[in-house]
Amino acid sequence: MKRNQQKKRKVPPQTGEASRILQIAICIFLVAATLAVYWQILDHGFLNYDDSKYVTKNWQVQSGLTLESVKWAFSTEHFAQWHPITWLSHIIDFQLFGSDPSGHHLVSLSIHIANALLLFLVLTRMTGASWQSGFVAAVFALHPFNVESVAWIAERKNVLSTFFWLLTMWSYIRYVEKPSIIRYGLILFFLTIGLMTKPMLVTLPFVLLLLDFWPLGRWKFSQKNRGTIHSEEGVRPAKLIWEKIPFFIIVIGSSITTFIVTKSGGALQGMEVHSLLVRISNSMVSSVTYLAKTFWPSGLSVFYPHPGNALPAWQVITSIGLLSVISFVAVRWIKSVPYFAFGWFWFLGTLVPVIQIVQTGAHAMADRYAYVPLIGIFIIVAWGLPDLLARWNHREKAPAIFAGLLIPLMIATSIQVGLWENGITLFKHAIRVTNKKYSDIASTHALLANACHRKGELSLAISEFKKSLEINPEHLYSLNNLAGTLAEQGNLEGALLYARKSVSLESDYIPGLVTLGNILEESGELNQAQTYYERVLELESESFENHLNLANVLYKTGDIAEATLHFRETIALNPRLVEAHYNLGNALGQQGQLKEAQEAFEQAITLDEKLPLPHYGLGIIHLRAGQYSKAIKAFEQALTLNPKLEQAQHFLAEAHDKMKE
């Protein structure tokens, strides 16, 4: 069969004034429409789901942009991830906006808008097709599938890595237009920065090879000489692959680093829970589910429980069959409809790192994983629809149809954004859309319970934790957090029961050991609490919380010297923890080390001058040192902050009496 002869074009022809105006109008629409749909997230708060690990309870992020925080960003494996550029973005956000979530949301939204604009410019530069490129960018910006990546502050890594993904593509296009060392270096630079944001970019070199085929037209094949494939025009295939060897070297290094960090952080436990066959089966079904939800985006959820080996065989076989048929058609049509093969293999290829064959977490799939892959499907629709309409001589209607398709997307996305207002609305929705499809939604009930707990609704939290345990009586997270919530209500006996059960199920479950220690400490069983805290430190010695727990119980048992050592270790791990500085001051004061105690209290005041107890402690040190005027000033400040601090009133009177002597 004779192949369609397409004129090679490395640089699109000049578009003309009308096309430039159209492109500007599309850019304005992308910005305005995305803002209109997403603006409500500026009123949303932080979520109890990972936002604490990334921002609200991460003291390194909250320390702001300093040399130490930059070093931490590049050296930490916190949360079983190595993505220093992502950490830097959160650090800068906190430097600018503090704990106000609206600023953090605005940055994520701005990056998403920038991604949509970049996607439009990249596609337009490669193809010269403004309407199709604009449609792809608009669907990308406005599809409800992408809400999770934008509305969830903890998913900053997704939108930010995609920004560098698109910059890498832009740099590659410029290099193809006019090769040079500088332009090639820019590709390497943006690829490296992107991988340091999220390792999702490991598939990007393969995407660049797809770009060589379509739309750049660098890779064109013909059959000659006993079936050997040669390049008919442009760059030889072998050279195109060789050209990308440095890219592959970088992504291989990133993949190895990611695997090591993820494994050491315990994020690959799902590999042990689920067999390879189960993981492959889930990946096949999930791929089809992503595809289905692209065209009918209902039932979107922040958490899709992993089905384990409960997937019906017919569903797995049907999914494999469908994926195989579409792949066969894509190859069969590769000459006549090249964009179909490009879009399809973009979709399948970019899903590979996140399709859960390498199982991370307890989920089967995630909306955020589709952020980049669905671009391929959008491209198929954008170029395929005009071709279909051309068969009926209605190609000119494509722009109107494109515009009409965006309206329901905008409505659906606006509704989906609203669900991310807080953890309660989010996880209630997740339960509603998954409870019929998945038998095990214990984790979703637990996440809802945690959201209720954060809002101070302890009774609702307890109810949801118990629902979780009705589904899975051995759900460690629910057992542990139910114990903690009951303890907050004062039900120490019930709390102790659930805490002991969590530890009995997994003896090295660190959160359970900590909670059990906390409950025993509150019950006055200090020696038993100390035993559990010491066990926790054996398992996790680099946690400042664990050192602080042990230090506090040692202080209560009268082992002041040992407590002092652990207070110092706590501060070494987290210099911004006011409680540790204050408690260290108390311990040092009891040992007669007044000068060091004074320094500890002063450091606590420097970190948070509005807390009354450090002022009170400083007053005690000044009083014992005979510095009565300083003691009076410190006690007065403590009472200004807390007029009900009776001990401060007592010692203030004593300091005044001493001044009169």
Q: What string of H, E and C letters represents the secondary structure of 230-284? A: EEEEECCHHHHHHHCHHHHHHHHHHHHHHHHHHHHCCCCHHHHHCCHHHHHHHHH
* pLDDT score for 270: 59
Q: In the chain, which residues have pLDDT < 70?
A: 1-15, 220-234, 266-272, 392-395, 398, 439
Could you tell me if 386 and 355 are in contact, meaning their C-beta atoms sit under 8 angstroms apart? no
What was the pLDDT predicted at 225?
38
Host H or E run for residue 404: helix 398-418
Give me the amino acid identity at 74. F
Of 323, 330, 419, nearest to 47 (Cα)?
A: 419
| Per-residue pLDDT, 10 | 43
State the pLDDT at residue 403. 81
Structure tokens at 648: 């401060």
Q: Under 8 Å CB-to-CB from 122, ≥6 apart: which residues?
A: 166, 169, 170, 173
The pLDDT value recorded for residue 58 is 94
What is the per-residue pLDDT for 43?
A: 97
Q: How far apart are the first and last CA of the chain?
A: 111
What pLDDT does residue 272 have?
66
Q: What tens digit of pLDDT does each residue of 354-411 get?
A: 998 887 778 899 999 999 999 999 999 999 988 888 776 666 776 788 888 899 999 9
3-class DSSP assignment, residue 229: strand
Nearby residues of 294 by Cβ (< 8 Å), 6 or more positions away: 143, 145, 370, 374, 377
pLDDT tens, position by position, 59-73: 999 999 999 999 999
Amino acid at 606: T
Cα–Cα distance, 291 to 287 (Å, whole number): 6
Write the burial class of residue 40 (CB in 10 Å: 0-12 exposed, 13-18 middle, 19+ buried).
middle
- Judge contact between 467 and 435, C-beta under 8 A: no
d(CA 275, CA 438): 19
Q: What is the pTM of this model?
A: 0.91
